[in-house]
Structures are given as structure tokens and as C-alpha cells.
Amino acid sequence: MAKALPIIRKEIEQLLDNNISLSNREAVLGFTIDGETSKDLDDALWIEPKQSGTVVSVHISDVSAIIQPGSSLEANALSQVETRYLATKNKPMFPYELSEDKLSLLEDKLRLTVTIRITLDESANINNTSLHLTHLTSLKRFSYSTADATLHEPSSPFFQMLRYCELWAQKLAWKRQDVGAIGLSRVGGVNLDEEGRILPSQLYHSQQIIQEFMLLANTAVASLGEKHRLPLLYRNHTASAIAPKSKELIETLTTLGLPELVRQKLQSWLNPATYSPTVIGHFALALPAYTHFTSPIRRVADYVNHRILKSVFIEGKESPYTLEELKAIANHINSKRTQVKEQRDEHFREKRLNQTVHILRDKGKMENLSDKEFSQIVKDSLRVSKLDKIVPEAISRIEDGNIKPVDLYYLIFGDYNNLNNKELLKNRILDYLEEKQVEATQIIQIAGTTTQTTVEYIEKTTASGKFAFWSVLEGETTATPGIANNKQASKHQANYLLIEGVLDQSLVPPQFIDESALQDMNSQKNMVPTQTSDEPHFDREIEEIDFSEVPEEAHDSPIGYLHEALQKLKMKRPEYFYDQVGNDWLCRCQVHWLEELIIETEAIDGSKKNAKTNASLKAIAQLENFIEELK
């Protein structure tokens, strides 16, 4: 490479001095929309309304008119494959003097372009596609934020144009949704890229608009190539054998409710996209043919496709590449992209793990982590040690109600050096999930997805017609079922009980389930009965809490304190029973010792949680008295 640098420098100097004739090129209008810091501007856009549709013109930097075939610049681009964007800088496929200046569609600068002109009917179907040699002096360089702002500024000269773009982008998006595309869409509460991978941040509205037109241009080019049986570097994307059909897949992702679940499902269902001169189709975009054409400054595949399409459709010549040459280029690009991805993943993995080690050593750093950062630390801590050092901060976040289901999944199913740490978490996790049993279902879904195991349910009905479910994960379930008046609540409770069984190590094979619970009782553990109109009025007097008998350290977290106190005495966890009385909740707390009921307290409050807290405070007071009597 060192010897090639002087040659490349000489080629750049020649190109910068070279003036190419515009006599055979059409002058066109257009503007660019890119990221705030983007300098290598590949593409520009213009739309012209017609009586029954519109004409979309996507102007793309004519890189192949500047870069000579067989040159060192081309060889370097083919070797590097694409521009790499790093944290503080980028490594361009073509040198900065070209990628950020002579080739870039900068505002008010004359640039050589290739224009793909696409005629759409009123339903956004492609009626015609044509390619043209053009030259463009960009009228405006929009960032995503300034384009978004202009969409709300009627006084701007670009307001009507951007609104028109917005209208047609929406039509294109609706059309893609109708055929079941998940790529470049919002599915399951998250935004996906063209290969169905979760995007790390929200998109600007104008970013979504411009993506629709770039997708349109790439699709139109691929359709043109396929129609003429022309070998291009097509972008193929396939799904694994276990993936459902597109529309069923979308329905499944939409019901998952958690980005982590969506990510895991997509990872197991979708294969990486690859380049090939053979058309296979694009699963995520639900297209029979797709290619890359709109970014020749940043991707060598687009550059190669430009050479082919210009030669065949503009110059009327043969393709400059044989089929074997295209196969070799495609294989090289695929291999290089995989290699770069693995190196990048390894780099960030090592960086994250080093950060995790430092954070685990410093409690103060852990306390200041954002929700997202804490989730990553929980996950990464399993790779550098185990979960023990996470426990104090996890307990704090659980008690504050500031914990994600994915965090709880790792805390429940993860490994600990000291099992006492898992015991410290157990009661707090169960208390938290008892109030949010829908999250128990999300955690079990994460467990099933992570282990690629289907979560199954055993469904039965109680004597009074209520729903009873046992949740089965990896061939194990609970002895008792979740019981409720509707299916969903019963499933949530079954998953809560399953988590309790995981933590207690009390799961059993499905053949050992206890069906005696199907004989209804007046009150079921962890079950809230529905009040009926003929329910008797509750008028029993509930005694007040005597705080003088409750240790001061129990005031902040009575439920956790009671659990820990019983654990130290080698006694079972307390049992809580609930009844709804008018608009209030009655909670009854029971403590057993040697199968004998030794403590029973009641509390009533407008909040179920407060009723449980107060019943626990009373139980703590009675437990203190019980301990004194034992002495």
C-alpha cells in the first residue's frame, strides 16, 4: 500500500485538474438531505407532479466518470469495499479530496451525476424507469433536522417540495407495508433497517422520507436489471427455515412488546444479506429483486453497478464485467464485510468488557448508569465474572421500580458465586413481579427466545369456570397453576409462579402437576377475585399499626425486611391473600412455622401495594413478639 500512495496522489491531482465536458449531459434540479455531519453526499432528489402520478428523479454522484477503470484509486476501493465510519473519524473508500469534495454533491457546486428517473402512478407503482447522464448544482444541503423544521415552515421556498416528498414517501411506505415488508419499517415498537436489524436510535422524519426514495431507486434499478436478465451485484436477503411468513412474522413481532425480544427473534429468523450476480430476492423488504445503486462514493458494490448500468443502458455497450468477475467481486465484498463486522464486534465487545470490569469495581459508577447502560452491564458481567457485584444496585433499582424485564431475566436465570446473593434478590424480584405479572410473561418469553425453546401452556378450567394455566419452559413447570377470570391474567400468573419455581428450584415435570387447585377456594394465593354486586359490605374493624413494635430498619422496606427475617429463622416466605372490598384492597398476610399458622394480619387500603405493606408491618411486629416468646 505504501508504494501505491504516490500513485494514488498523482491520480488525485490529475482528477482535480481534469474538466469533463458537459455537452452530452442534461442539467437537472435537486437538493440533498443527509446527516448533520455528513460530507460525502452521494445522492440528491427532485419530484415533478404529473396529472396521474409523479416523476421521481434521484441524482447520484457519477463516480465512475471520475475514477478510471484499472486505476489505483479503483483498486483501493475494491480492496477496502466501503467507507468505514469510526467513533472520531472515517476511513473513506475514496480519498477525502474526492469523497468530500469533487465527488460530493455539495450545495452550489457543479457535479457530474447519473439520474434515475422513475414514473409512478397514483398508487405508487413503477410505470417506467430510465437512466440519464446529467449534471447537478445542488440547490440546498439539508440536514435531517433542518429538513424536519422546513416541513413546518410554509414560508420556506422548499416547503411545498418537501411536503410533496412526504406525501409520496408515505404512499411508498404504505405500499411496502401492504406486501409485508419489515425492512425500513417500524415493527414491534422498534425501527428496523433494510435487513431487519434494530436501529439504535429514532429516525428523523425526513430521514424516513429520503430512505423511501433511495429504496425506490435501488428497487427500480434491480427490476430493470432483472427484466433484461442483466447480471448486477444484487443484494439478496433470506430467512431461516424456522421463520414464519412475512405477515405472520410481523404479527408475532408486534405482540412481543419488548425490543430485546424483537431483536432476539429477528436474529434467529433472518440471515445476513449478501451480494450476488444471481437474483434470489430480499426477504426483509419483500422484494423479488433488490440492489445497491445510490451510494457509489461509500460502497464499491454501487460503484460496480454504476459501471454496468451506464455501459448497458446509456452507452449501449456490453457489461464491463464477465459473470465470473462479478462472482469474484461479490464473494470478496461479502467476505470483507463479514471480516470487518467480526473485527468491529470484537473491538466493541472487548471495550465493553473492560468498561464492565472498571464499573464493577466502583459502586459509585454503577449508581450513575442510565437504564440502557445498566442493562448492558448486567449482561456483560456474566462474561467477566458472575452477577454478585450487580446485586446491591439491582436491589436498589427493583425497589425503585426502575428495572427492565431483560435485566430481571439475567438476574433470575444468571449465575452467582455466592448463592446468598441470589437469595437476597429472590424475594425482591418476586414482590416486584407480583404487582407486575405481565412483566413475568415478558421475562419467560425472553427465556424461551434466548434458549430457542417454545414456551408452552397446559390449560384447564376450575370447578367454577375460571381459567387455570401451567407455564412450561424446557420441560418443567410448577405444581400449582395460575388461576384467574380471564386467560391472559391466568397466563401472567402462571409465568409469575414459574419464575418463583425457578428461584426456589421447585419446578416439576408436567406429569406431576397438582390438579387439586382446580377445586375453587374462597381465596387463591396471588389471585384477585372480581367483586360482584351482591358481595357483602365489609364492615370488620381493622386494627391500626403499632409502629412502636416495628424495628426502625423495617420502615423503608417492610416486605423485604419480613422476608429476610423469616429466611434467617429458616422459615417459609409469607403468603399473601387479597380481596377487593368496594374500591379498596384487603390484604391478609400469613406466616407458617412447622406447618402451623403462627401469624395472621390484615390491612386495607385503596392501593393493593399499600395494603400489602401495612399487613407486612403488622406481621413484623407479631414476629418480634414471637421471637421474644421463644427466648
**What is the DSSP track for 282-293?**
BTTTTBS--B--
Q: Of 463, 596, 437, 475, nearest to 520 (Cα)?
A: 463
Q: Which residues pair with 108 in a beta bridge?
A: none
Task: Please report, in angstroms and rounded to a whole number, the separation of the first and last CA atoms in the chain.
Answer: 84
| CB burial readout 262-297, b (16+ within 10 A) else e | bbbbbeebbeebbbbbebebbbbbbbebbbbbbbbb
User: pTM for this structure?
Assistant: 0.74
537 pLDDT exceeds 60? no
Provide the pLDDT confidence category of residue 526 given band limits of 50, 70 and 90: very low
Burial class, 112, CB count within 10 angstroms (exposed 0-12 / middle 13-18 / buried 19+): buried
| Average pLDDT of the segment spanning 103-130 | 96
Locate CATH 3.30.160.20 in the chain. Answer: 547-630
pLDDT tens for residues 294-346?
A: 999 999 999 999 999 999 999 999 999 999 999 999 999 999 999 988 888 88
Write the pLDDT tens digit of every residue in 99-108. 999 999 999 9
Supply the pLDDT for residue 627. Answer: 77
Instruction: Supply the pLDDT for residue 11.
Output: 66
Q: How far apart, in whole angstroms, are the C-alpha atoms of residue 507 and residue 475? A: 10
Give the pLDDT confidence of 175-213 residue by residue, as tens digits: 998 988 999 988 877 889 999 888 877 889 999 999 999
In a 10 Å sphere around its CB, with 0-12 CB exposed, 13-18 middle and 19+ buried, how is residue 89 labelled? Answer: exposed
**pLDDT value at position 133?**
96
Residue 386 binned pLDDT confidence (cut-offs 50, 70, 90): confident
Residue % of the chain over a pLDDT of 70: 92
Q: Which fold has domain 547-630?
A: Double Stranded RNA Binding Domain (3.30.160)
25, 133 Cβ separation under 8 angstroms: yes
Question: What average pLDDT score do residues 597-604 get?
Answer: 89
Grouping H, G, I as helix, E, B as strand and the rest as coil, residue 545 is: coil
Q: 427-440: per-residue pLDDT in tens?
A: 889 989 988 888 99
Res 517: pLDDT: 81
Residue 5 banded pLDDT, cuts 50, 70, 90:
low
Q: What does the pLDDT read at residue 631?
A: 58
| Predicted local distance difference test score (pLDDT) of residue 529 | 41
Give the whole-number percent of the chain exceeding pLDDT 90. 51
Please check the confidence at residue 533 and state whether its pLDDT lies above 80.
no
The letter for the amino acid at 382 is: L
Least confident piece of the model among 40-54, 105-119, 441-455: 441-455
Check residue 14 and give its pLDDT.
65
Question: In this structure, what C-alpha cell is assigned to residue 188?
Answer: 414491534
User: What per-residue string of b and e applies to 347-375 under the rule 16 or more CB within 10 Å gives b?
Assistant: eeeeebeeebeebbeeeeebeebeeeebb
Q: What is the mean pLDDT of the chain?
A: 87
Give rounded-to-5 percent helix, strand, coil for the chain. Answer: 45, 20, 35
